[in-house]
Amino acid sequence: MPGHVDYALARRAVIRDFRRGTLTRLDVCDAHPELLRAGRHVGEDAGRACPVCGLENVRLVSYVYGDKLKGANGRCISHERELAKLGATHDEFACYVVEVCLDCSWNHLDRRYLLGRRHAV
């Protein structure tokens, strides 16, 4: 998919370094309070266990960024229809999906993809 970046390799490297002791729990479990709040209230269930604490409380939170988004720039998206509406009214913007564990504060960028009229299928 053009304009799609998956950060799985970077995630695996961080987890590997954490398990080897190169990174501490404080290094990898540092989610911002606003990310935790967004995960709690509008995040989607990731369907996987946290790689740090092993609990099933991992959420995916989506944010949009784009030069022409004005007031929506940097906004957390709570419903797919919000993405569809932005995609129909803007030429291009990026959606960043972040995974966050609500128990231990693990967080990592999961993926980034481009949306908008230029990328409509």
For 10-25, write each residue's pLDDT tens digit. 999 999 999 999 999 9
Residue 93's φ and ψ, nearest 5 degrees, are -160, 165
Q: Show the domain range for 83.
A: 4-119
Q: Which tens digits make up the pLDDT trace of 61-89?
A: 999 999 888 878 889 998 889 988 998 99
> What is the total count of domains within the chain?
1
Q: What is the pTM of this model?
A: 0.90
- Transcribe 30-42 into DSSP letters: ---HHHHHHHHHT
Beta carbons of 28 and 18 less than 8 angstroms apart:
yes
Residue 30 structure tokens: 């540092």
**Mean pLDDT over the full length of the chain:** 93
Indicate whether 1 pLDDT > 60.
no
- DSSP 3-state assignment of 45? strand
